[in-house]
Amino acid sequence: MIRSLFSRARNPEERRVRAWCRKTLGVTPGDLPLYRQALRHVSAVSEERPDLPDNERLEFLGDAVLDAIIGDLLFATYPDKGEGFLTRMRSKLVSRTQLNMLARRIEIERVMESNVSRSHESSVPGNALEALIGALFLDRGFDRTRKVVVKLIQAHIDLREVEKEDKDGKSRLLEWGQKRRKKVEFVIREEGGGGRGKHYVAEVRINGEVKGTGKGTSKKVAEQDAAQSAFRSMRSRRSGGGHHRAEQG
C-alpha cells in the first residue's frame, strides 16, 4: 500500500506539501506525487503540461471513503439513534458547505494548486479535501485514514451543533421515506460539460416513480434541487388535503 515511505521531496512544492501533511494530518506522505495530485484542481493543469493528473478521480474515491468513515463514526457515537437520524447526520457532515468549512479551517488552500480565485465562492477546497482523503487511503490504508479524519472532525466540528442545524431537503426526504417505509432514491440522470461548466441533472424516485428533478453544478446541489422539486410535486397533489408532513421531517 505504501509505495515509498522514505521518499524525499524533490522540490520546494513537495517539501511544502510534506510539511503541511505532517503538521496538519500527522502523516508523512509515502507517495508525494499522489498527494500533490489530490491538491491539484483541474484549473491548474496547463496546456503545456496536459500530462499532469488533476484531483477528480481521487475526489471520487475520497467521497466513498469519507462516507464509510462518517458512517462508522456516527454508528459508534449514537448507539440509540435510528437509521433516519444517522442518514441525516451523515448528509450534513459530508455536505459541501461542511467540507469547505473544514478544508478552510485546516488551511488546505496553502498547499492547493488552483487558478480559481479564492474570493470566488466555490467547492474547490472541499473537493480537494475529499481527494486528499482518497490519496491518504491509497497511501496509508483505511485504518490510518479513519484515524486522521476522525481526529480532524473532533478538532474542528461540534457534532452537537450539527444536530441543531435545520435538516436539508435531501435529508428530510430520506427520513420521510424511512418513516413511511418508502424507497427514496437519488439518481444522477445526466452529466455534462467540463471544468467550471460542468453540470448535473438529478432525479428523485419514490418507490421507483420519478417525483422530482433538479439541476446543479455538482451532484449534491442537483440532488438538493431535486428534493425540493419532489416536495413541490407532492404538495401540489395534496393541495386539497392539508399540510405535507414530509417537509416537517
Active site residue 130: yes
Catalytic residue selected from 31, 54, 59, 130? 130
- Give the distance, in angstroms, between the CA of residue 249 and the centroid of all CA atoms in the same chain: 23
Give the H/E segment covering residue 210.
strand 209-216
Residues 154-164: b if buried by 16+ CB within 10 A, e if exposed: eeebeeeeeee
CB atoms within 10 A of CB 194: 9
Please confirm, yes or no, whether 51 is among the known catalytic residues: no
Compute the distance between CA of residue 62 and CA of residue 192 in angstroms, rounded to an integer: 22
The catalytic residue among 63, 113, 168, 175 is: 63
Count of all residues that appear for the chain in the document: 249
At 59 the three-state DSSP class reads helix
Distances (CA, A) of 168 to 13, 24, 96, 102: 39, 30, 12, 19
DSSP for 155-207? HH--HHHHHHSPPPHHHHHHHHHHHTT--EEEEEEEEE--GGG-EEEEEEEET
Taking CB atoms within 8 Å and a gap of at least 24, the contacts of 79-86 are 82/178, 83/178, 84/174, 84/175, 84/178, 84/179, 85/175
**Side-chain half-sphere CA neighbours of 78 within 13 A:** 16
List, by residue number, the catalytic residues.
63, 130
